[in-house]
Each structure stands twice: as structure tokens, then as C-alpha cells.
């Protein structure tokens, strides 16, 4: 899909400013006085948060997205984001004329001094899908003038900024990076649900430039946004690698936790107690086991890094094995239920109903990207169970609808008639429930609970078996 056309207002007729030639103090003044305009490419959960922090720093913002319906919704004040500060800031800025959204990326570039690219990069069958990034870079390269600043925040395989983004921008613009325009790589480091807090207060901002002039502009801009400070690194490839390494570290540690929890259950050991004791040693950072790993980031970063490694003739065996463990964890959760129901005399052939609690990949957000729940549901259906899914924050889901699986925000509706339940998401609502509560909501039919997040109250159980992936068996039925 190409970048279409929607009228603009912020930044229209922008001042011809060459930020490469300005001292840090003057860049700060332009930003804080509202004379700097930024085009944010990609209005997903992170992109909307990025637009928000630019607005809060003083800039005018033009949001750019290829999704016409999303742009229309945003322009009408329907902001698709779980953070109240994002919704409030964007609505206020729409009313004041400091923010607008468009599908016309070319005009957005022509009306701004900075482009901030935060489009998605997904991993497909043959490797990373660079198409969204390439489309954004192409329209920027064709539309920018001397003195423009290009920031890329999308998590990228190392070398992408230097070997893909830079050549494309230079070829299409006829300009030279770090001489005629600034090229900055500064990876986002956020968790949707607290993204604005993460950017502004929680973490230092990693910045890199294609050269020293670009790096100076990056430091000048982000020193006004990141209260935790700016971390300058020597090259974009270092920044790219660092961002992926953060995610890979977490994926490997989660895999370790999932594997150790499996052994702990076999030995009758509460692994959550093991974690609390082991992590009093400062070198121990055991993560919690769970239903699997979801979201836009952690499941993808190991594959991006492994892809780069393969191009370099290297195999990241530990990284790849950890990914396979976490990919199989939803299946392990289902087979944990299968074993418990088997002990109680239930077979998948009986066509019993199983309630899956939680579709979101993480608690208390309405986002299901790469959620382990999808694999849990798929395996339950494959085995012959009937399945219903509850999520308090997600009203509908295209995939679940396509396979005929009920999704409801009514917990009682999902549990009624269910023989078993799997807690797949750590929503706060589930932490207030006990197995006994689920038994009552099921109409007295529920006999087993698999808590894949170790989040529920363990008792009372009202006769149901309770097994936590980390806690192990706590109620015998």
C-alpha cells in the first residue's frame, strides 16, 4: 500500500532550518518553543507514544500511517491506545492544531524538519520483512531537503541503518548523510502500557549517528525528552545490536525459567519459592515461567539476531534453542491440563469445554500480538476439546472468529459449563480469583485449573485440582 493523501496543518510551510548547522542550545529552543515539527511514521502503540513525547517536549507532530481507517479514527479523537496520557495529549493537541494524522508521508516530510520512523518489522518465512521500513524510507528520501533529520527507532538487525537505510536515502535524495542531512538510529525501549513513562523517565535513551554531526543532533534532541539521560554509542550497529540483545537476554532467561519449572513440578518443588530465594544472590536473575512469550518484541528479536548471525556464518545455538522452548511452552501448558484431566477420568474425546482466561499477550493491556493463547487454543482444538476464551479488555478477535472460538468479556459466560480452565494472561482481575470462584462460575462443573501465570489465589479450591506452572500442584481436588 502506498502513502496516500490527507490534508495537513501542523508544520505546513515549515521554516527552512538546517539542524546540522545549529548549536545544541538553538535546537533546544526550537523544540521547546514549538517551532520544530516532527513527522512520526507508524501510528501503532509505540508510534502514538513517540508522537506524545514529542508533543510534550514542545514539538508539533504530524503522524503518518498507511492505514486510512486508523488515521480517520485518530483524527476524530478515537485514539487506539491503552495509556491515558497518550489519549489525552493527542486529543488536546488535535484540538489545538499541534497534532494531525495523515496517510500522505511525502507532504508530512515537506512540512517538518524531523522524521521519526517507528514502523513495524516482522519476521516472515524467509527472514525480516523490510517492506514497511523501505516504504517509509523511500518517501522520506524522495521528499526531504538539505538539513533534514531522519531518526529510525524501529528495532532492526545490526547493519540495517548503515547498509540499507543510508544508501536508500542518499540515492533518492541526492544528498550526503552527515553532510547534508542527519541520520540517527535510536531504538525505542518501551513497554506498551507505560511507554511514555519509559521514554521520558525510566530508561536512558540510546542514540547513535551515521557520523559525528548526526550524533550531535541526536543528543541535542533527546536530551530534552529522556530525563534518565542520553547514552551515545559509537555507531548505529552498536545501538541496533544492543536493542536486540536486551530482548534476547529476556527470551533466554524465560526459557530457562520454563525448563527449570518443568523439573520443579516433577520434584514437587514450588519454583516461585526457588526464585525468591535464588534471586537474593545479586548475580541471579531468574525470570518467572509462564504460558509462553508474546508481543511485538521478545519473540521476534532472537530471530532477527539469528538471521544476521546466519548471514555471518555463525549459529546462535543457545538463542535458537531458547526460542524453541518458549515456542513450545503453550503446548506444554495444554499437555499439563491433559494429564490432570486424564487422572480425573476425562478424555479429549469427551468433547469437554475448556475456558482459556486471557487473550492479551501481557496483563492489563488490550493487545494480543503473538499471544501464547493462540497456540493454547489451537492445541486444545486439535486434541478435541471445545474452547471459549475470556479477556476483560479485548472485545473481538479476527483469528478466533475465523476458527469459530467464542471470545467474551463476560467471565461467567465463558466459564459456565467448563470442566477446566487455563489462566493464560496475568490480568489483575485473575489475581483476585481463587479456584473456588471458577468452580462456582462454571456451575459446579470445573474440576481442574492450570495457572500458567502463577497469579491466582491458591485457595479455596472447592474440590478442583490447581496446578501452577511455577507453583506446582497446590490443590488435589
- CA 224 to mean position of chain CA atoms: 25
Length of the chain: 477
> Distance between CA 316 and CA 37 in Å, rounded?
42
Helical ranges in 179-270 per DSSP H: 195-197, 212-222, 236-267
Question: What is the crossing angle of helices 166-173 and 131-143, to 10°?
Answer: 30
Answer positive or negative: Cα dihedral of 386, 391, 395, 399. Answer: negative
Q: How many CB atoms lie within 10 A of CB 113?
A: 27
Pairing of strands 60-64, 114-117: unpaired
> Distance between CA 204 and CA 119 in Å, rounded?
22
Tell me whether residue 343 is one of the annotated catalytic residues.
Answer: no
Q: Which grid cell is 170?
A: 542518499
Query: Which of 60, 70, 205, 243 is the catalytic position?
Result: 243
| Greatest extent of the chain over all pairs of C-alpha atoms, in Å | 76
**Gyration radius of the chain over CA positions:** 25
CB 110 within 8 A of CB 16: no
Nearest CA among 63, 75, 149 for reference residue 105:
63
Task: Specify the residue for cell string 531468574.
Answer: 286
Query: Which of 70, 297, 461, 475 is the catalytic position?
Result: 297
Tell me whether residue 297 is one of the annotated catalytic residues.
Answer: yes
Q: How many CB atoms lie within 10 A of CB 428?
A: 10
Pairing of strands 122-124, 127-129: antiparallel
Nearest CA among 304, 283, 292 for reference residue 255:
292
Question: What is the crossing angle of helices 317-343 and 236-267, to 10°?
Answer: 30
Q: How many CB atoms lie within 10 A of CB 433?
A: 20
Pairing of strands 114-117, 99-102: unpaired
Any bridge partners for residue 123, and if so which?
A: 128
- CA 230 to mean position of chain CA atoms: 22
Nearest CA among 184, 97, 112 for reference residue 143:
112
What distances in angstroms separate CA 453 from CA 48, 314, 385, one per listed residue?
29, 35, 21
> Distance between CA 372 and CA 292 in Å, rounded?
5
Q: Write out the DSSP string of 315-342.
A: --HHHHHHHHHHHHHHHHHHHHHHHHHH
Residues acting as catalytic residues: 243, 297
Amino acid at each position: 500500500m502506498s502513502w496516500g493523501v490527507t490534508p495537513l496543518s501542523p508544520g505546513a510551510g515549515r521554516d527552512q532550518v538546517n539542524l546540522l548547522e545549529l548549536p545544541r542550545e538553538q535546537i533546544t529552543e526550537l523544540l521547546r518553543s514549538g517551532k520544530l515539527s516532527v513527522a512520526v511514521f507508524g501510528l501503532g502503540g509505540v508510534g502514538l507514544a513517540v508522537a506524545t513525547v514529542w508533543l510534550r517536549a514542545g514539538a508539533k507532530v504530524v503522524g503518518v500511517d498507511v492505514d486510512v481507517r486508523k488515521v480517520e479514527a485518530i483524527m476524530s479523537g478515537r485514539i487506539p491506545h491503552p495509556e491515558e496520557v497518550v489519549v489525552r495529549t493527542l486529543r488536546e493537541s488535535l484540538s489545538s492544531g499541534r497534532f494531525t494524522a495523515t496517510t500522505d508521508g511525502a507532504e508530512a516530510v515537506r512540512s517538518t524538519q524531523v522524521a521519526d520512523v517507528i514502523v513495524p518489522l516482522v519476521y516472515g518465512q524467509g527472514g525480516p520483512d523490510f517492506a514497511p521500513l523501505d516504504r517509509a524510507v523511500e518517501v522520506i528520501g524522495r521528499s526531504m531537503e538539505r538539513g533534514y533529520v531522519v531518526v529510525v527507532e524501529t528495532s532492526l538487525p545490526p547493519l540495517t541503518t548503515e547498509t540499507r537505510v543510508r544508501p536508500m536515502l542518499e540515492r533518492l535524495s541526492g544528498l550526503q548523510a552527515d553532510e547534508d542531512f542527519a541520520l540517527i538510529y535510536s531504538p525505542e525501549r518501551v513497554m506498551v502500557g507505560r511507554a511514555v513513562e519509559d521514554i521520558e523517565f525510566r530508561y536512558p535513551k540510546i542514540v547513535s549517528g551515521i557520523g559525528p554531526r548526526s550524533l550531535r543532533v541526536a543528543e541535542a534532541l533527546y536530551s530534552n525528552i529522556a530525563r534518565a539521560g542520553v547514552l551515545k554509542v559509537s555507531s548505529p550497529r552498536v545501538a541496533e545490536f544492543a536493542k536486540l540483545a536486551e530482548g534476547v537476554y529476556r527470551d533466554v532467561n524465560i526459557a530457562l525459567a520454563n525448563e527449570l519449572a518443568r523439573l520443579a513440578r516433577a520434584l514437587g518443588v514450588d519454583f516461585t519459592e526457588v526464585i525468591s530465594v535464588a534471586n537474593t544472590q545479586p548475580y541471579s536473575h531468574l525470570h518467572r515461567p509462564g504460558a509462553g512469550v508474546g508481543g511485538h518484541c521478545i519473540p521476534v528479536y532472537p530471530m532477527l539476531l539469528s538471521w544476521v548471525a546466519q548471514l555471518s556464518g555463525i549459529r546462535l545455538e543457545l538463542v535458537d534453542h531458547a526460542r524453541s522452548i518458549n515456542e513450545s511452552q503453550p503446548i506444554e501448558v495444554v499437555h499439563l491440563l491433559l494429564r490432570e484431566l486424564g487422572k480425573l477420568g476425562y478424555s479429549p474425546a469427551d468433547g469437554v469445554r475448556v475456558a482459556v482466561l486471557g487473550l492479551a499477550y501481557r496483563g492489563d493491556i488490550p493487545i494480543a500480538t503473538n499471544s501464547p493463547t493462540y497456540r493454547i487454543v489451537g492445541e486444545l482444538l486439535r486434541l478435541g476439546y471445545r474452547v471459549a476464551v475470556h479477556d476483560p479488555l479485548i472485545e473481538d478477535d479476527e483469528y478466533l472468529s475465523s476458527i469459530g472460538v467464542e471470545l467474551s468479556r463476560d467471565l461467567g459466560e465463558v466459564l459456565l459449563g467448563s470442566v477446566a480452565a487455563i489462566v493464560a494472561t496475568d490480568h489483575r482481575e485473575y489475581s483476585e480469583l481463587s479456584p473456588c470462584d471458577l468452580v462456582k462460575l462454571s456451575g459446579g462443573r470445573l474440576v481442574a485449573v492450570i495457572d500458567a501465570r502463577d497469579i491466582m489465589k491458591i485457595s479455596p479450591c472447592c474440590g478442583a485440582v490447581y496446578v501452577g506452572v511455577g507453583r506446582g500442584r497446590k490443590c488435589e481436588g
